[in-house]
Structures are given as structure tokens and as C-alpha cells.
Structure 1
Amino acid sequence: MPELRHVDWSRLFSPKVVAVVGASDTEGSPQRAQWTQVHRRLGALGAEVVPVHPKKPDILGVKAYPSVTALPADPDIVIVLVRDPLPIVEEAVNRNAGFVVVFSAGFGELGTAEGDAAEARLRELASGATRVLGPNTNLNIFEPWPDGLPSRGKLAIITQSGYQGRPITQAQALGVGIEIWATIGNEADLEWADFVGYLAAHRPNVGAIATYVEGFQNGEAFMRAADACVKARIPIVAIKIGRSEEGRVMAAAHTGHLTGPDAVHDAVFDQYGVIRVDDLDEVIEISNMFCHTGLVDGPGGIAVYAMSGGTASHVADLFGAAGVKIPKFERTTVDALEKYIPWYLRRDNPVDSGGVITARPENREVLQLMLDDPNTDVLFAPITGVFPGMSDALSRDLVALHQRFLAGEGKPVVAAWISPIRDDSYRSLCEAGVPVFHSFNAAVRGLSELGRYSRFVRAYRSPFDGDAMAGIPAPAERAVAAVAGRELLAGAGATLNEVDSKKLLAGYGIPVAGERVVTSADDAVAAAVALGPPVVMKIVSADIAHKSDLGLVAVGVAGEDAVRATYDRLLATAASAAPEAALDGVLVAQMVTDAVAEVILGLSHQHPFGPTITFGLGGVFTEVFADVAFAVPPFDADRAREVIESTKGVRILRGTRGRPAGDIDALVDVILRLQSLALDLGDAISELDINPILVRPAGQGVVAVDALVIPTRRP
């Protein structure tokens, strides 16, 4: 798979010459404000910022040039503020501009032939060395941000919408510094993955990336960029539009993005640790937390300090509903807390102080004991209202402990401020850099992600490194299988029949049942004897996809008379039910009698990620139960096992109600073999279904007993 592309970012972030096309001195015009803004901001970086205007000799005292061509030096950046930007972009490309920023809309987001043509032309102009930001963007990427805020790491913001990004920048009120805000618009050229990959590689101050996206241009590039972030220990907190049909339609109307199947996006996010949330408050507060705390060294154990039993119960319930276990304290910790917390209050996790000691100096000792417990990685203190003498005292304690953490002498603390009143105590928390949430739900989600992402990073093995890409079968066997597979697919019609489909699978070492294709009743009898009764018999035809629906499959056939009768019946039924279908004969196959479960494996193309593996409960109930999970190559055996484990049907595979456990190891092996097939032949296959795969008892393997392959149709 290709690497992230190289971009000379120095010409964007350290420019020498910047041209602003459409700069104006007309009082009250947007172009005047934009010119003034760019001239001030980029001039402060040492750039020569010049206006381009076809008629005016200067703009607000700065000499203007009639065209980009007339500039005295090649521009690093050309900012285009005119309504028809394409001629200017072409001129900038011819003048060897490093970057062109296209402010105007009216491209692919319109959903019209004219808009699509304009965006296609813009992509064509960006096919060389000049990079294009936009269209349908703004100038946020040049916005300066205050220094001196208390966060350990800074927040990077990548959005496809300016107005969805502006609220995120206001996380500064929570004490987090902003590293950069890039509004990327339609992504005719520069895309999400370009910026995220750059941040991971070149901005070590970034503590988290907050992002609002409606779709990704290139799924492979997304995975590469997300992989780089995991290696750099940078969490990505994302709102991704597309959970509903309404959201998908609106996303296309807004920036022209195809959002893609939502469940597949979730699967890829899971593969690369991306934290998907649903609202802006979660994006702001969770990314703010990561910027202040970094990752934790342990599993993410949360110690909860509450000032009332009700708060303790509420928070514990929410953590439990989220599947997050609050660890018990060591006995020594509970015994030590007895000195401070009365007998009638809870001393184990979560602690209920009852407010008895919160305002006392010894309260800090209680918090420190909780932090020092070996099962604790972070302290969470919900503050459920402004109550002078208590909320302010607890805030002071949390600030002191946070400062100790920043000095490398402790563990992080997190607060939830559940009150409409934002008093001096609240502000003191934010000014000190204590992560603050404003709802229990957001806090529970954020703290659970702190532990989960920290564990994820420690266990992560990049699928792009070393042997992870090799997969199975062995390279020599795989090369032979790929050549044979392409020949088989090239000679196929609209679909491969079952026999040829399974031949393709067998080339990659995917086990298939022993079988023979026969064209007479006598041959059917001979095949049944050779394979051993009972057998399965079914029609072979590339024109019939779902044979069982038409009564064209017979199982458990035994005895010469039964084989002959079944052969004749299958032909007669096929002639009646599918008279136009071309028949290739009757398949006589071994019957597997010890299967623990039936599962399905599929291969399909899912925008924007390409070949995608589907796994789920198989057989005739696939559509009924819809118990499926996805994985996008490349991935390793651990990921293949996680896909299996994520389905409800895994309980059957583990063995239930006296039934034996299935061979999950063999199933993992088959998923990896199908991945190799997808990587080698995915461009030549539109769709592939193996349904069902029969999973035999542990140690006995799996067997593919039916398959359908639809080759990619070439124009």
C-alpha cells in the first residue's frame, strides 16, 4: 500500500512571498477584511504579502500587481478571493506557486454537472507540484493562537466545516492551547490524511487531534495517517457524519463528500484507535483531557471521589453501563482512609466523603491516598454544584494535585463541573489545566477512552510494518494463486459458478469440501460412492446465485436410488425455476456432519476504503440476524480474532449448552487468507461471498461449502 505523499509544508507555514488575489480596499467589503487579516498575520511571520488587482496600483498603501504572472518572485502561497478562481489557479500553477488557497464555493458540493466539472478541473490543476487547499475553505489555517495556556500538549483541529471548527477552538477557555486549525473544505487536493500525517510527523507539541469530517477522499491514506498518529501517541477524537441517511445526504450537499457505509467507518476507526463521538462538547472535552493528561501507564483504573452517596451511585452506574469497571482499592488504602472518613460512609472505590472532610486540610490526604493506590491511574472528582466552602476547597486540592502531576510526581486528576454557575473555583481549575467535563456522560466516555486508548497504543502493532503485511499463504504460494486467480477471473462472465469460485479460494489455501461436477445420473452415483455417503447435491450455474431459495440444494442424500432421483429432480426444478439459466451440471459434494456453526465471509468494495472483509453468522439467516463485523486490509491475526469476538455469534463458536467449541484458530487463518486474496485480486473482484463456512470442533478446521464470486466489470 502506498505511503503518505510528500508535501513541502515549509512553503505553507514559513512562506517568503504571499499573493492575495482579489484583495480590496473597499470599506466594509469581506475582501478588505481578508486582505488586512492575511497581511497582518503572514507579515508577522516575515513573509512579503502583496495584493493582486488588475486595476489598482496599491491596496491600503501596499503595492499591487496586475496578475500573478507579474509578481517579481514565485509565490509560496496564492490566496484566491475572487468568484471565478480557476483561471487564477492555473496562473498560479504556471508561476510555480507552492500552495493555492481557494476560498470560494461552487464546486462539487453543488451536486451539479457544472460544479463537478469545476472541481475536476481544480483536481487536474493540482496534479503537479502546486498544492491546493479547498475549495470552499477559509483562512483559519493562518490564524495565530495565544501561547502560555497550561496544557501539556496542544490541540490540533482539522475540520471540513469552518463553523463546526470555531466552537472547538474555544476549548482555550478550558486551558488548552491550539496548535493549528485547518479547514479543508472539499479537499480537491490537500486532504485530511495530508494534514494529520504532517501533524504526527512534524508537530511534537500536539496532544490530541479534534476533527469534524463528513467523508474521506482516500481510505488508504486515512489508514496511513491514523497509523502514524498511534505511533506518535496522538489520539484522534472525531465527529464523523453518516450515522443516518439524513446526515449522509446533507454531507454530500455540504462538501461533496460521499460518507461511505457507517459500520465500515466504525470498524476502521476501531482498527486504528480513533475515538468517535457524536457532539461538539465531547470532541472539545475529551481532546482537552488528553492534552492535559497525556496517556496513562496502567490499564486506566479510575478512582472516584464524590461528596455524596447519590453522586457516587450515579457515576458508578454510568461507568457500569459503559462497561468500565471501577477497580477496588487495596486493603491498605481502605484501612488508611478509615482515619479520615467516618464509618457510615463508603471508603472503597467510589469514595463517598459525605462532604464531611471536603473543606478540611486533610481532604488532600484522602485524595492522595486514592491516587497512590496501585489500582488507580487517574482520579475523577465530580463537583455537582457551587457550594462555597466545599466546591472551592475541592478545586484547590485538585489544582495542587494536578501541579504535582505536571512536576512528574503523581497521577492525573479530572473534574466534572455539573453546575450552570461558573465561579472563581471553576475558572481556577481551567486556568491550572485540570481537565474539566460538564456532564457525567461526557466524563465517563472520556475517562473510559483514556484507559482504552492508552492500552491500545501499548499493544498496537502497525499493519504496515514488517511481517504484518506478509500475511498467509506463503509468498511463493500466494504469487501462484494470484496469477491463476487473474486468469480465472479474466475468462469469467458476469459471475463465477460455485465450482470456479471455490477453485479461486482453494488457490489461497481456504479449505473447501471434496466435490465433483457430474452431467449424468450414473456419474452422480459414482461420485457419491467415491466421496462417501451421505452427500450434498446441487445445481451448478453461474446464473443462479441463491440456489437454496429455489430448491436446488439437497443435503443428506444417501443410496443409489436417492442419488438418481435427486439428480433428475434438481435438473427439472432448475428448468422450471430458472429456465434462462445456463447449467454446468450437478455438484456432488462431501457432507460435513460435525459442524458447530455456520458463518459467512465476504469481500466487497466499500467507499472510501476499498476491499473490505465481512464476517458474521452464516447460512440462510445472514440477512435475518445481521450479526456482522468488518475489517479493512491490512490487518493481522489479532485483528481477525477481534472481528470474530465482536459478534454475538461468537458465543456459539465458544461452545454453549453442551455443544463443543468451534475451531476459531482455523477461522482466523481463513480470514487472513481471504485478506491476501483481497489484497492481490481486490481490483478484479466486485463481490465475493463464502456462505456458509462450516466451523468444525476445535482442532478440526473449517470448510467452505458454497461460494459466489462476481468479477469486476470492465468497460
Structure 2
Amino acid sequence: MALSELDRGRTTPPASNLDALFRPASVVVVGASNERTKIGGRLLSHLLRYGYTGRLYVVHPSDPAVQGVAAYRSVDELPADSALDLAIVAVPAVRVPETIRSLAHRGVRVAVIVSSGFGETGDAGRALEDEVRDCARRSGMRVLGPNCQGVANTSVGLAASFSSVFGRTEEVPDGTTAVISQSGAMAAVLTELSSGHVDGVRYWAATGNELDLTVADLVAEVATDPGVRVVQVYLENMRAADRLVQAARTAHERGAAVLVLKAGASEEGARAASSHTGALAQEDKVVDAFLSRHGLVRARDARQMSELARLFAGRKKPRGNRVGIVTNSGGLGVLLADEAAVNGLAMAEFGPDTRTRLTETLPPFAATANPIDVTAQLLSRPELLGAAIRAVEAEPGVDVVVVALGILGDYYDLDRILADVVELDRRTEKLVVVCWVAGDAAMPGRLAGAGIPTYDDTAATMRALGAFVAHARHVERERRADPQTSVPTARLTGPLPRAAGGPLSEAAGKRLLRSWGLPVVDGRLAVSADEAAAAARELGFPVVLKVSAAGLAHKTELGLVDVGIGDEAELRAAAARMLAATEANVHGDGQVDGLLVEPCLDGGLEMSVGLLRDPSVGNVVVVGAGGTAAEVLADVQLLIPPLTTELVREAIHRLRVAPLLHGFRGAPARDVDSLVRLVLDLATTPAVLAGQVASLDLNPVLVMPSGQGSVAVDVALTPGHPTSDIKEGR
């Protein structure tokens, strides 16, 4: 069959049209086996076990039936009048391209290739992938895999996977969670760790080599299901980042969330750029900033993913960050209070009515402030817990009730304690969380089985709760955001100047920034000591003198910057020294403009602003402490556009040097408004929006006292790609 036969009238459907993957009316397993220890045998066994109710076909070259299902010897012999939605391909890699061609000819909409031996094995495997990709694109068929563990939708009895998670004693129940992973093993791990803590997993998929469909495509699909509250995602790269953002936005609109466990660092992201910005903005920080900006909640490991899912899969949302803690252990209360502060939570202040109620109810030696300690009297007076949590429930200043119980065992009325907590959870709209440390081993399961998020560690409790509250705040802020915040990509009318693989000369970079309307220190470019002296007289002493040359970085260390020159004689001597030193330090294609003469500016606080073009997520804006110690301090915040004034202000406030901006030990408060404007203006500059700036480092940016503005003093700009031979004139 010629490929041209597949081209006629066929187009590739959009990635969102994936009903055939998750809700197929028919499934064909190519490579099914009677031996359940083989991949093809496990696939079919799981489909049968979970009760798939659609039309099921199997292909086997010799057996008339496989696991009780009538078999066809080839794809071509399948009933001609049967539409085929989903094909599961479990044949040796060398046979996959021809199998895909046959399936495409039959009009199969989606193929899941579980076979390995493709791009992960080298050039020969990549060639096989290319064959499959070419056929799929020509036919319009979508492909999941190869080298993947399959797909499942438990709500329709579809378990088209050979993963051991579907072969365990208890079936994976349908529920409000989805698990989408590049790794099949990690998909199984996430499912197992969530078991008993969430009501079940509806969608499950492992994408493998991602020849066609990506994690982002599948997340975008499952995020539309109103029955899904949380999507757990395992990623090893940030492919299709824009689609992942759209999926998260879709989930947020429905009140759902996307949790991400990101592993691995790309080569491009790990590479430090030539500017300070690139050195400080390592890949993992970029990933953090990207996920945070778009409300994708990051887990650091598989267990933390499970901890997060317990809250996000529940029906309740936090109303705020004020926590009321009831415990039988003062120590647990202190540990939880410590963790609350670390995770952006506030310990609620009880009003007089609550304090009175607690004083009247609890023993006189009990702690009635937050956290409330009902003491060991809980052993003989089990009603104390119910009384305390009712008081906290009624307190209007509490958004979340945390019940922390330690080392409760046989001597305690555990049934009464369970009933009190469950009754509270069902009675109130406030979020209820339990931290059960040691004690009766069965109680966490009993509490979780009643739908209450339960943890066995104080740090895990507050870490998950902090992330849950922060996400709710993010969603609410995005809901309030001005639609104009989303800035379309701009196209420039002309190219940027060209540099030989590095930054433009400082004079050229500053000229560009001025043309973009950004605040840059005034200056003159001179090619001789005489011109430099004339420029200094015009600007007024004292001045700064520095060499301007393309590709030249770290001028201070090379002795090519002199600050505070007070008279003409000193300037001429410095100019002669720098011109001589330039010949020794500028090599290759580095083009020397001359000497920059600029006024000395006093009274400014040194900050830095920068930009890095990341290959996966696009522009990354950096704001932080500046000056020659910037790399040592490493005090930066990364921002992913589109930006808002609120986002930039919050980022600046998170810096360790933030107190210096607001006045410290008698120093004047700084013009933070102008620094915010600089960051916003940089992010929306047409050249930046068009992706024509690979990196930009403004260090230092002097932030003057309030009302006096901010100004960039040093500039290192590297174009995204050389496109012009524009002469860098004076």
C-alpha cells in the first residue's frame, strides 16, 4: 500500500480530540498473547479484568483465540465494516512501521505503541520512529509512545496497559484523580502512593518517547473532565510548555489543579550564559518560576506528590491561610506552628468568645491559645477533643482546622475520636486536616477512608497545606487579572545589531535600550583621550571611564573600568592605560568602539534586572541584588511573562535585600515604583516579545530615593541570533 493512498482527504486532528484514546468504542490489540507473563498477555488480561465493554478485537498470527477472545491473523483480516478507534501495538519494533501502515489503512484513530527498541536505542531505533511518525502524519492517526506502558480510563473499564499497577489484588478504582507521566514506572508509583489517600484514579497514561502525543496533550484532554479534581504529572522535559499552560488554565476554570513532578535538567537550561543573569538563572530555577507563574504545583519527589494529591483531590477549597490547631501534644503544636511560618500560613488569632469557650471547657492547665493543647486528659475525657474542635470551628478567624494527634493507641477511645473528626469535617465548610503521628497504625487509613486528608508528619502536613492555600490564592488572582496582561508576541520592523556570538558592545546595548524607552545613564563614546576629556567636561566631573567592545565581559576585573575620576589629568592617564590594556584583552572578532564616559551617580542602591531566553519556556525576567557581589549573594527572583505590577512587587518583596529598598537604619526608602516599571517595560519591549534577545544583564541598576527613579548603569545584551551588519556608530 503506497503512502499516497493515506493522504487523500486526511488531516491531523487537534490534540484535544482524544476521545478515541480515553473513551474508545472499539479496541484492537495487535500482538496479544495467551501467556500473561508477556506484555501482550498482560495487556489483554487487564482489559478483560477491568471489564472493557466496547468492541474488543485481537490480532495473533496463529492462535484462533487469545484468552477467550476470537483472534484475527492480521490487521487486514479484521471485519471491514467495523470502525476502529484505538489500537494497542505490542509487536517487535521492526514490525511496528508496517503494522502502523496497516492500521492507518483501516482508519484507526489512535495507536498506542508499547513496543520498545526505538529512539531510546540509537540511530536505528530513531529511523524506525521516523517511519512511524511519517505514516501517522500522512494518515491523521495520533500515536502514543513508542516505548510506553499504555493508557487507562477506569470509568469505562479501559485498562489498556501492561503496568503491574493494574494487576494488583485490588483494582484501581475510578475517582477524581488522573495520572499522566512520561515514565510508565513513575505512573505506577504515583498511583500506588495515592492509593488509600484519594478516592481513585480515572485517567492513567504513560507517554514514553512522545513520538507524537505529549504529556501536555493528554493533560489538556483530561483537564476538561468535570469529574477530575487533580492531575498528577511526571515530566522529564518541558516539551509543549504552552500547551501545558493552557491545560492548567482549563483545570483552574473548573476548580481542578495540575501537580507536577519535574525530573532531569535540559542541557540548554544547565548551560550558564555569559551574562550574570544566565549564571544566576539555572534551569531548575526557571522550571520553578514557570510552574509557579502558571499555577502548576510542583512536587519535589513522588511521596510529596501523594501528600499534595490528598488535599487537591478533596471537595473543599481553603478560604484563607489562617490555621487553627488542636492537639494532644504541646510539642506537636510547636512543630506545626514552626512549619506554618515556613509555608506561608498564619496562626489564627482567637477572639474573646473562643478563648472564653475554651477556658470553660478544657482543664485549667490546658493551653487555650493557638495551638490548643487538650493535654493527656484526652485519655480519661475523650469529649475534650470534640469540644475543642467545635470551638475552633466557630471561630471566624480560622480558615483551616488542623487536628494533630500523637501516640494515641489502645488506651484511647479511638472510635470516639474518629467520629468527632469526621463529624466536624461533614458539618463545616472549613478545610479539616489531620496530622496523626505514631500511635494506632490503622487510624490514618480510617481517617483517609472517610475523605479527610491525613498525614503522619508535621512538616508534610504544613508543606502540603501551604501549597494548597498558595494555589487557591494564585487561581483567585488570575481570575481578577486584567485581560490586557496577556501581551501578544510582537514582530520587529528591523533586526538587532550583530555581535560575534556574545554581547554587543556596551555602547550599542545602551543605545538600543534608550531607543526602547528604558532608563539608561547618560554617556559619550570617545575614541581618543582628547575626545574623552571633552566628553567629561561636557558631563561634568567626577566621571566613570570604561572600555566599550563587543564580547567583552567583566571589565572591572580586567582593569577596564575607572570610577570617580575627578579631573582631566586623571582621565587622560586612565584613558591611555585602558586603550593599551584593550589591545591585550580584546581578541578575535571583538570590535572595540572606544571609551565610554559617563557621569558618576551617587545615592543609588545597586540592584540588577535581566532577561534570559529559555529554549523551553521563552522569556525569563530576573530581578535581584546587584553590584559586583551579585553572584555571591545569588539573591534573585525569576519571573515568567506576562507580568503584572502585583507579581513584580511580590517578587521584589521576596528578595533578601528587600528591607534595603524600604529604608534601613536611617537610609532613605527607594523608588520601588520605578524599579517595577523598569521590569514591566523590559518584559513588553517589542524586541523581547519577538524573541530577539537571548540575554540581557542590567547590573547595576541604581534605584534612587523615592521619586527619583531608577537607572541602568551597566548593560550586557546578547542578541538572539545575528541578523544584521548594522554599524555601531558613535
**Residues 33-71 of structure 1: per-residue CA shift (max 9 Å, x gap):** 322333565741xx2221233455554441415135865
Decide which of 52, 56, 60 is 2:59's aligned counterpart: 52
User: What RMSD, in angstroms, separates the aligned Cα atoms of the two structures?
Assistant: 3.3
Q: Which amino acid letter does the alignment assign opposite residue 660 of structure 1? A: P
* Contact 1:498–1:706 (Cα < 8 Å) also in 2: yes
Decide which of 69, 76, 88 is 1:79's aligned counterpart: 88
The 1:577/1:177 distance shift into structure 2, 3 A limit, reads closer
**Residues 555-580 of structure 1: per-residue CA shift (max 9 Å, x gap):** 22233333333322221221233365
Partner SS state of residue 685, structure 2 = helix
* Contact 1:210–1:283 (Cα < 8 Å) also in 2: yes
Q: Distance in 2 between matches of 1:660 and 1:391?
A: 59
Partner of 1:615: 623
Q: Distance in 1 between matches of 2:205 and 2:386?
A: 42
Q: Which amino acid letter does the alignment assign opposite residue 393 of structure 2? A: L
Decide which of 83, 104, 123 is 1:113's aligned counterpart: 123
Decide which of 637, 643, 647 is 1:639's aligned counterpart: 647
Name the stretch that deviates more: 66-75 or 568-577. Answer: 66-75
Matched, 1:412 2:439: no
Partner of 2:471: 453
**Residues 343-366 of structure 1: per-residue CA shift (max 9 Å, x gap):** 111112111111425744464233
Q: Distance in 1 between matches of 2:197 and 2:689?
A: 50
TM-score for the superposition, normalised by structure 2: 0.85
Please give the residue correspondences for 1:505-524 in structure 2 after superposition, counting only pairs within 5 Å: 505-524=513-532
The 1:624/1:413 distance shift into structure 2, 3 A limit, reads closer
* Contact 2:619–2:688 (Cα < 8 Å) also in 1: no
Q: Which amino acid letter does the alignment assign opposite residue 672 of structure 1? A: L
Decide which of 144, 154, 168 is 1:133's aligned counterpart: 144
Q: Which amino acid letter does the alignment assign opposite residue 7 of structure 1? A: S
Residue 390 of structure 1: how far off its partner (Å):
3.3
Partner of 2:219: 196
Matched, 1:8 2:29: no
Q: Distance in 2 between matches of 1:56 and 1:633?
A: 58
Q: Distance in 1 between matches of 2:79 and 2:509?
A: 62
**Residues 197-221 of structure 1: per-residue CA shift (max 9 Å, x gap):** 2233x21122222233222212222
* Contact 1:501–1:709 (Cα < 8 Å) also in 2: yes
Q: Distance in 1 between matches of 2:156 and 2:304?
A: 22
* Contact 2:85–2:108 (Cα < 8 Å) also in 1: yes
Residue 710 of structure 1: how far off its partner (Å):
2.3
Partner SS state of residue 447, structure 1 = helix
Residue 15 of structure 1: how far off its partner (Å):
1.8
Q: Distance in 1 between matches of 2:554 and 2:349?
A: 54
Partner of 1:534: 542
Q: Distance in 2 between matches of 1:449 and 1:543?
A: 43
Decide which of 360, 369, 385 is 2:391's aligned counterpart: 369
Residue 632 of structure 1: how far off its partner (Å):
2.1
Partner of 1:239: 261
Partner of 1:257: none
Partner SS state of residue 141, structure 1 = strand
Decide which of 483, 486, 493 is 2:493's aligned counterpart: 483
The 1:305/1:567 distance shift into structure 2, 3 A limit, reads same
Q: Which amino acid letter does the alignment assign opposite residue 227 of structure 1? A: R
Please give the residue correspondences for 1:643-682 in structure 2 after superposition, counting only pairs within 5 Å: 643-677=651-685, 680=688
Partner of 1:252: none
Decide which of 438, 444, 448 is 2:456's aligned counterpart: 438
Partner SS state of residue 620, structure 1 = coil
Q: Distance in 1 between matches of 2:521 and 2:55?
A: 73
Q: Distance in 2 between matches of 1:492 and 1:321?
A: 46
* Contact 1:25–1:32 (Cα < 8 Å) also in 2: yes
Partner of 2:426: 403
Partner of 2:441: 422
Decide which of 15, 20, 28 is 2:29's aligned counterpart: 20
Matched, 1:692 2:703: no
Matched, 1:269 2:291: yes
* Contact 2:527–2:595 (Cα < 8 Å) also in 1: yes
The 1:153/1:531 distance shift into structure 2, 3 A limit, reads farther
Partner SS state of residue 196, structure 2 = helix
Give the percent of matched residue pairs that are identical in Structure 1 and Structure 2. 30
**Residues 120-139 of structure 1: per-residue CA shift (max 9 Å, x gap):** 55554554632211222213
Q: Which amino acid letter does the alignment assign opposite residue 43 of structure 2? A: Q
Partner of 1:558: 566
Decide which of 303, 310, 325 is 1:288's aligned counterpart: 310
Partner of 1:160: 182
**Residues 550-607 of structure 1: per-residue CA shift (max 9 Å, x gap):** 1111222233333333322221221233365432222222332221x22222222334
Unpaired segments ≥5 residues, structure 1:
249-259
Q: Which amino acid letter does the alignment assign opposite residue 182 of structure 2? A: Q
**Residues 151-179 of structure 1: per-residue CA shift (max 9 Å, x gap):** 99712222222332334334342352322
Residue 82 of structure 1: how far off its partner (Å):
1.0
Decide which of 491, 505, 526 is 1:497's aligned counterpart: 505
Residue 117 of structure 1: how far off its partner (Å):
4.3
The 1:443/1:493 distance shift into structure 2, 3 A limit, reads closer
Decide which of 146, 168, 177 is 2:200's aligned counterpart: 177
Q: Distance in 2 between matches of 1:7 and 1:350?
A: 48
The 1:631/1:317 distance shift into structure 2, 3 A limit, reads closer
Q: Distance in 1 between matches of 2:129 and 2:437?
A: 47
Partner of 2:554: 546
The 1:701/1:518 distance shift into structure 2, 3 A limit, reads same
> Number of residue pairs matched?
678
Partner of 1:88: 99
Q: Which amino acid letter does the alignment assign opposite residue 306 of structure 1? A: T
Partner of 1:381: 403
Q: Distance in 2 between matches of 1:176 and 1:28?
A: 29
Residue 672 of structure 1: how far off its partner (Å):
1.6
Decide which of 358, 364, 368 is 1:347's aligned counterpart: 368
Residue 654 of structure 1: how far off its partner (Å):
2.3
* Contact 2:266–2:283 (Cα < 8 Å) also in 1: no
TM-score for the superposition, normalised by structure 1: 0.86
Q: Distance in 1 between matches of 2:565 and 2:478?
A: 49
Residue 26 of structure 1: how far off its partner (Å):
4.6
Partner SS state of residue 548, structure 1 = coil
Q: Which amino acid letter does the alignment assign opposite residue 208 of structure 2? A: G
The 1:493/1:365 distance shift into structure 2, 3 A limit, reads closer
Partner SS state of residue 550, structure 1 = coil
Q: Which amino acid letter does the alignment assign opposite residue 711 of structure 2? A: V
Residue 679 of structure 1: how far off its partner (Å):
6.7
Partner SS state of residue 259, structure 2 = strand
Q: Distance in 2 between matches of 1:243 and 1:491?
A: 28
